[in-house]
Structure 1
Amino acid sequence: MRILHTSDWHLGQNFYAKSRQAEHQAFFNWLIEQCQEQHLDAIIVAGDIFDTGSPPSYARSLLNQFIDQLQNYNCQLIILAGNHDSVAMLNESKALYARLNSQLIANVSQQDCHDFNDQVITLTNKQGQSSVQLCAVPFIRPRDVLVSQTMAEEKNSKATNLMTAIQSHYQQIYSAAEQKNKSLGKNLPIIATGHLTIVNASVTDSVREIYIGTLEAFPASAFPNFDYLALGHIHQAQTIAKKDNWRYSGSPIPMSFDEAKREKSVVLVEFTETDKQAKHSPSRIELLTVPCFQPMQSLKGNLEQIKQQLDSLVTTDLKSSQKIWLDIEVDSSDYHSDVQKQIELICADYPVEILLVRRSKQKQIKAEIHSQESLDELEPEQVFAQKLAEAGLEQADEVKLNQLFKLSLAQLNLAETELEDGLDNVNNIDSSPDHKEKNKINSASQGELL
């Protein structure tokens, strides 16, 4: 059986006010070609289908068109939600996608936690034979696996409890897959998905850190011994825990300028062993390089050095009418009040488009097009990063403020979760007969005081 592992599509991303629609369309066209050439039996998308919870209509259309095209190749599609995805929005299409040989798992519900078989999907090859058991785990939110906790509990205790709960969830779903094998009278490979940060994973600028309660990263040792682990969230392709069969596929297109020089890929995984073997390992794991659909470059130095770097770019083979997107970092020693205008004049005769100009000390000078980016298009982390850059602080002070901001954001997210749980409890109490009678007495007393 041949499976393609990909993740972090981020459909609908607004990249410094530039649309990624053309790139994503080109990626889907390429993916359909791979489906045909590689005779794929299944495609697994390990989270972050969309870039926001309310993606633009064109992004939804791209996904729907891809699913429609996939019907011509008898290839199953399994879509897992990530931290960027809206559970409610994805679930709107769940029943429809199921009719199109596509399974969508948007969240881990409390009901799922009592019946883990709902999260175990038996994948079949093109001949209709059961070939792999998939433990389909999306991004796990604290409320999915934890009961409400008091504010008095220590931060470390909460993180430990959450890690234990996630570990327990994976162990129970692994056991459910083993039980499903037993009921089928087979010994199929057991693979799993995940959308989270693993301890020691290498991240890039575009990865927005996940704070699940107070848990920042999950240890690889806490996973069961899956035959393949398809991970999402980290945009850089890499193996985990020195295991070739536990991987992040990375994003298919660069999501930030620091990813531009890295080769993008998807993972082709093949199982050929018979189900009679005690343990399975993929017979083939191969990275399929995704073509670059939009050239991007970062230039650094003084104005003269930037001009020299621009001269070298003209030798790059570009598609017709395609411009290179630029992130330009100007040496602070060559910084003037009119640097934006000078950069624009230097770049005028080159096949480039300036998206970002910034000073080497991280003080960003937004390019004219970038300044049009509205506040509602930004995440809190991005807004804070921009304001911090504009402050022109020393690096040590920036690091301290960043740490405080991340801690405050994590505590705020946790408080919101606990507040939701508290409101649910209050609503339950308010609906009781005894509490209603007390409210009447209190109201009458307040009336007398007034």
Structure 2
Amino acid sequence: MRILHTSDWHIGRSFHGNSTLDALGDVLGALIDQVREHDVDVVIVAGDVFDSSAPSAGCYTLLTDTLRGLADAGATVIVTSGNHDSAARLGFQAALLRDGIHIVTDPAACATPITVSDVHGPVHLYGIPFLEPALVRAVWPEVTLRTQRDVLTHAMDLVRADMGVRGGRAVAISHCFAAGVEPTAGLERDIQQGGVDVVPLSVFDGPDYVALGHIHGRQMLSDRVRYAGAPLHYSFGEANKPRGSWLLDLDASGLQTVTWLDLPVPRPLAVLCGTLDELCEDARFSHAEDFWVRAEYTDATPQLDPMRRLQRRFPHCATVVHVPAVAPDEDRRDYRQKVRAAVRHEDLIEAFLTHVRAGEGASDEEQGVIADLVADHAVAEALA
């Protein structure tokens, strides 16, 4: 049996204020082509189908078209809900879906597999939706459930018990933060903020393969436990990381091979660093003129209207950050202390300029202008 593992579509997510719906539609169209080209039997979508609990109408249209396209390509489709999804909204039409498309949002059903057969017999696919401890305690009141580790341990115990009764090959699907993920993998926003606790890898012992979602970068935690990552780059921290899905083959004894299928990147991302003039003019940045760009300009002081200047060359410049190449000399006095210590008008102006220009005081030319102004002021006061 051939299974394609994808996840974290985040339909409806924006990228620095820009819609990603059309780009994601193109990428999911390519995914459908891959399913057809590689004769995929089952497609797994491991959570975070939508980016919010209240998606727009266009998001539902894209999901419907994609699920229909995957089924028309000959695959059984299994979708689980993630922490970004509203399980109720994602699953409300599950009973109305055509044969071959399954949306799993009910925690109580995690040990009831969707079974697909091939020439070697049945493969049992156990969909585990995102399990928020506070929301599933009522499902399993007899068990103490305080953490993600607790709820997934209990869910996988139920899965393993059912596997023991049914026999045959098995695949589990989960949306969580598993131990062993690299810090640079493209962590989701709530993970970075400490919102999801770590689940030990041993929790997933048993099935032939475990398809995980929640991490936006491709990760192989073991031969049989993997993250596919998101199909689009959703942050500059994910730049240069591959986008795609895992293609796995099961033979009569279980997992045989796993290969990576790249997906197209509609618009690459680039992080560019240099002075503002270099970013706007230097030929070494020409390759990124049609990319999404994060510009880090290294001028000693903040520059006037950098975004407007950069977008003349990089129309898709999404963010600009001032990162001075040389840190200003440390002066532990605050601005009020510097003003109080000023003896001359020139000292007062120097304190102000240093404060508002990230530590850079007046240049030689500016000092001349200041001296002239101060002298003119003194003359005016004397004549008054």
Q: Is 1:266–2:242 an aligned residue pair? A: no
Partner of 1:298: 271
Following the alignment from structure 1 to structure 2, what is the Cα–Cα distance between the partners of residues 46 and 162? 16
Which amino acid in 2 is paired with 1:179?
A: V
Normalized per residue, the structure richer in helix is 1
Following the alignment from structure 1 to structure 2, what is the Cα–Cα distance between the partners of residues 179 and 212? 40
Following the alignment from structure 2 to structure 1, what is the Cα–Cα distance between the partners of residues 70 and 171? 22
Which amino acid in 1 is paired with 2:158?
A: Q
Contact 1:2 1:42 in 2 (8 A): yes
Distance 1:48 1:304, change over 3 A: same
Distance 1:167 1:260, change over 3 A: same
Contact 1:202 1:236 in 2 (8 A): no
1:43-442 map, 5 Å: 43-97=43-97, 99-109=98-108, 112=109, 117-118=111-112, 120-125=113-118, 130-146=121-137, 159=146, 163-181=149-167, 188-203=168-183, 204=185, 207-210=188-191, 216-240=197-221, 243-272=222-251, 274=252, 277=253, 280=254, 282-307=255-280, 311-315=283-287, 323-331=290-298, 333-336=300-303, 338=304, 341-348=305-312, 350-360=313-323
Q: Is 1:24–2:21 an aligned residue pair? A: no
Which amino acid in 1 is paired with 2:309?
A: L
Per-residue deviation, 1:189: 1.5
Task: Give the paired residue count.
Answer: 319
Following the alignment from structure 2 to structure 1, what is the Cα–Cα distance between the partners of residues 267 and 207? 36
Per-residue deviation, 1:28: 1.7
Which secondary structure does the structure 2 equivalent of 1:285 belong to? Answer: strand
Which amino acid in 2 is paired with 1:167?
A: T
Which amino acid in 1 is paired with 2:125?
A: L
Q: Deviations over 1:395-418 (max 9, x none)?
A: xxxxxxxxxxxxxxxxxxxxxxxx
Contact 1:5 1:266 in 2 (8 A): yes
Distance 1:51 1:59, change over 3 A: same
Which secondary structure does the structure 1 equivalent of 2:96 belong to? Answer: helix
Q: Deviations over 1:363-408 (max 9, x none)?
A: xxxxxxxxxxxxxxxxxxxxxxxxxxxxxxxxxxxxxxxxxxxxxx
Which secondary structure does the structure 1 equivalent of 2:125 belong to? Answer: strand
Following the alignment from structure 2 to structure 1, what is the Cα–Cα distance between the partners of residues 196 and 291? 39
Which amino acid in 1 is paired with 2:286?
A: V
Per-residue deviation, 1:251: 0.7
Which amino acid in 1 is paired with 2:226?
A: R
Which amino acid in 2 is paired with 1:264?
A: R
Which secondary structure does the structure 2 equivalent of 1:333 belong to? Answer: coil
Normalized per residue, the structure richer in strand is 2
Following the alignment from structure 1 to structure 2, what is the Cα–Cα distance between the partners of residues 162 and 31? 31
Contact 1:10 1:49 in 2 (8 A): yes
Contact 1:206 1:255 in 2 (8 A): no
Per-residue deviation, 1:288: 0.3
Which secondary structure does the structure 2 equivalent of 1:172 belong to? Answer: helix
% identical aligned pairs? 26
Distance 1:54 1:332, change over 3 A: farther
Per-residue deviation, 1:216: 1.5
Per-residue deviation, 1:131: 3.4
Structure 2 unaligned blocks of 5 or more:
325-384
Contact 2:43 2:75 in 1 (8 A): yes
Which secondary structure does the structure 2 equivalent of 1:9 belong to? Answer: coil
Following the alignment from structure 1 to structure 2, what is the Cα–Cα distance between the partners of residues 219 and 355? 37
Q: Deviations over 1:174-228 (max 9, x none)?
A: 21123123xxxxxx22111111111231245661225999861111122222211
Distance 1:87 1:263, change over 3 A: same
Which secondary structure does the structure 1 equivalent of 2:205 belong to? Answer: coil
Following the alignment from structure 1 to structure 2, what is the Cα–Cα distance between the partners of residues 11 and 164? 29
Contact 2:131 2:148 in 1 (8 A): no
Contact 1:207 1:233 in 2 (8 A): yes
TM-score of the pair, normalised by structure 1 = 0.65
Contact 1:107 1:140 in 2 (8 A): no
Contact 1:271 1:284 in 2 (8 A): yes
Which amino acid in 2 is paired with 1:81?
A: S
Which secondary structure does the structure 2 equivalent of 1:60 belong to? Answer: helix
Distance 1:346 1:27, change over 3 A: closer
Structure 1 unaligned blocks of 5 or more:
149-156, 182-187, 362-450
TM-score of the pair, normalised by structure 2 = 0.76
Q: Deviations over 1:37-87 (max 9, x none)?
A: 100001000000011111121111011111222332321000010000001
Distance 1:288 1:139, change over 3 A: same
Per-residue deviation, 1:93: 1.6
Per-residue deviation, 1:141: 1.1
Partner of 1:376: none
Per-residue deviation, 1:235: 0.6
Distance 1:329 1:314, change over 3 A: closer
Q: Deviations over 1:79-127 (max 9, x none)?
A: 0100000011112221122x24111012414xx4xxx543x111234x7
Contact 1:190 1:228 in 2 (8 A): yes
Which amino acid in 1 is paired with 2:293?
A: L
Following the alignment from structure 2 to structure 1, what is the Cα–Cα distance between the partners of residues 35 and 135? 34
Which amino acid in 2 is paired with 1:140?
A: L
